[in-house]
């Protein structure tokens, strides 16, 4: 396994460099001048404007700008155009909010999606399965921002039981964890609800396939309790496609934080990405895309390792043991 992990990690280098290049080209092709968004160009002379652009590094040739940005990104010295702070420092300040939101949403989707998928598969094509199918299709079709606004209207507007925005009470800046939890309820439900239907449908499909296998019929023939047959024998094999879909949904989940954090006014990385795009903050955009790509690549390796843990017959690198 160690050799496989080293080989995969080495493969990340050209992939990340390619992503950095594509990101740099896209942001530089986008209309807008960062200098004009940071200062009032009408009160600056041409020489002062050129001096300011030179300070930002915008006067250099594009290849030189790319090499400089990648070098500063690798050493952690890449600084935001807006604040002048190292981008990694800004990301570290906002990371806890996004990490808590992502982990909560993923936990909610798994804890709810897996049991619902099992229930749907144990009694297929019944009334409960039909209702769960309709609910899953509705969840897949519903825009996250619209769902967020509906929950805000109901729970924050009508019922007034949950806050509508922020990560803590507006009366203080010294938040305690207990005070922050209510502010994360609605965003977590919205973000988790975006991927829950897909997890539920994959679990249902995997369970239907597993319940029709010979080893399940053999277990039933031995007189094992149905609960043990379902959860001990069938579910473990049905979770393999779920691991795959979680790895596939991770980029979508990370991208959705930009919408959710903006709607709920949460100071996380997703909202930082939106602010950086609006202000043409090239260093921040480059750093966020690079880090997101790195997280997704690491997640793909974690998915491969999870295969081995769930099914010891699988070998890293392809194939099945005993072939």
What 3-state DSSP class applies to 274?
Answer: helix
Return the pLDDT at 322: 46
Query: What structural domains and CATH numbers belong to the chain?
Result: 2-75 (no CATH), 93-278 (1.10.3720.10)
In angstroms, the CA 283 to CA 65 distance is 11
The count of other CB atoms within 10 Å of the CB of residue 209 is 14
Return the pLDDT at 323: 42
pLDDT tens across the length of the chain (323 residues): 678 778 888 888 899 899 999 988 988 888 877 887 777 777 777 788 788 888 888 888 888 889 998 898 888 888 898 888 999 999 999 999 999 999 999 999 999 999 999 999 888 888 999 999 999 989 888 888 899 999 999 999 999 999 988 888 777 667 778 888 899 999 999 999 989 999 998 889 888 888 888 888 888 888 888 888 888 778 877 887 788 888 888 888 888 899 999 999 999 999 999 999 888 888 999 999 999 998 888 888 887 777 777 666 666 655 444 44
Measured between alpha carbons, how far is residue 54 from residues 16, 60, 78 in Å? 27, 8, 16
284 burial type by CB count under 10 A (0-12 exposed, 13-18 middle, 19+ buried):
buried
Return the pLDDT at 7: 84
| 305 Cβ contact list (under 8 Å, min separation 6) | 1, 316
Q: Which two three-digit tokens encode residue 120? A: 């749907």
Return the pLDDT at 260: 92
In angstroms, the CA 151 to CA 159 distance is 10
Return the pLDDT at 310: 66
| 216 Cβ contact list (under 8 Å, min separation 6) | 210, 229, 233, 234
Measured in degrees and rounded to the nearest 5, phi and psi for residue 320 equal -130, 135
Q: What is the DSSP code string of 39-83?
A: S-GGGS-HHHHHHHHHHHT-SS-HHHHHHHHHHHHHHT--B-TTT
Return the pLDDT at 90: 92
Q: Measuring CA to CA, which residue among 140, 260, 248, 246 is closest to residue 191?
A: 260
| Alpha-carbon 84 to chain mean position | 27
Predicted model pTM: 0.84
In angstroms, the CA 129 to CA 114 distance is 14
Return the pLDDT at 81: 87
| 180 Cβ contact list (under 8 Å, min separation 6) | 167, 168
- SS3 labels along 288-306: HHHHHHHHHHHHHHHHHHH
């Amino acid at each position: 396994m160690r050799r496989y992990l080293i080989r995969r990690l080495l493969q990340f280098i050209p992939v990340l460099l390619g992503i950095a290049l594509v990101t740099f080209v896209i942001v530089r092709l986008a209309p807008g001048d960062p200098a004009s968004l940071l200062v009032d160009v009408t009160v600056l002379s041409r020489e002062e404007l050129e001096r300011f652009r030179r300070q930002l590094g915008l006067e250099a040739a594009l290849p030189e700008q790319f090499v400089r940005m990648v070098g500063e990104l690798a050493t952690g010295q890449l600084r935001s155009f807006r604040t002048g702070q190292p981008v990694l420092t800004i990301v570290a300040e906002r990371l806890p909010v996004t990490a808590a939101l992502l982990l909560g949403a993923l936990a909610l989707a798994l804890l709810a999606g897996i049991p619902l998928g099992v229930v749907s598969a144990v009694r297929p094509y019944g009334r409960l399965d039909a209702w769960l199918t309709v609910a899953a299709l509705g969840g897949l079709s519903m825009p996250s921002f619209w769902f967020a606004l509906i929950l805000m209207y109901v729970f924050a507007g009508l019922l007034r039981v949950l806050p509508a925005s922020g990560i803590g009470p507006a009366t203080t800046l010294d938040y305690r964890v207990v005070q922050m939890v209510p502010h994360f309820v609605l965003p977590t439900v919205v973000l988790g609800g975006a991927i829950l239907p897909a997890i539920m449908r994959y679990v249902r499909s995997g369970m239907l396939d597993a319940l029709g296998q010979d080893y399940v019929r053999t277990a039933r023939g031995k007189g094992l309790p149905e609960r043990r047959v379902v959860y001990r024998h069938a579910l473990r094999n049905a979770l393999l496609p779920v691991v795959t879909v979680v790895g596939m949904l991770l980029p979508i989940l990370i991208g959705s934080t930009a919408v959710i954090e903006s709607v709920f006014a949460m100071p996380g990385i997703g909202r930082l990405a939106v602010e950086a795009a609006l202000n043409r903050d090239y260093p921040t955009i480059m750093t966020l895309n690079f880090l997101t790509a790195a997280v997704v690549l690491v997640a793909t390796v974690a998915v491969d390792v999870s295969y081995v843990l769930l099914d010891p017959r699988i070998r890293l690198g392809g194939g099945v043991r005993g072939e």
